[in-house]
């Protein structure tokens, strides 16, 4: 629960910085934090025996990590 809140706050902070300053250099970090949020949420869903939502969140996590890595590679 604490990790989900922490990653969410990081995502919102980086997104807010990008919107206010029009500097989107840190966007891969935001996507990474959002992906980690999805990972934590997926693990919580598996723990509650909600397998369908858990797998969906894991797929979203994998896609966001892929996009984040591509963003880091373009630097």
What is the number of residues in the chain? Answer: 75
Residues in the chain where the model's pLDDT stays below 70: none
pLDDT, position 1? 85
Q: Residue for token digits 């919102």?
A: 12
| pTM, rounded to two decimals | 0.90
Position 74 scores a pLDDT of: 87
How many C-beta atoms lie closer than 10 Å to residue 33's C-beta?
Answer: 22
């Amino acid at each position: 629960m604490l990790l989900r809140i922490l990653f969410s706050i990081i995502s919102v902070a980086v997104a807010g910085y990008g919107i206010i300053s029009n500097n989107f250099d840190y966007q891969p970090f935001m996507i990474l934090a959002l992906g980690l949020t999805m990972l934590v949420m997926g693990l919580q869903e598996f723990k509650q025996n909600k397998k369908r939502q858990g797998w969906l969140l894991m797929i979203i996590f994998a896609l966001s990590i892929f996009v984040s890595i591509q963003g880091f590679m373009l630097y």
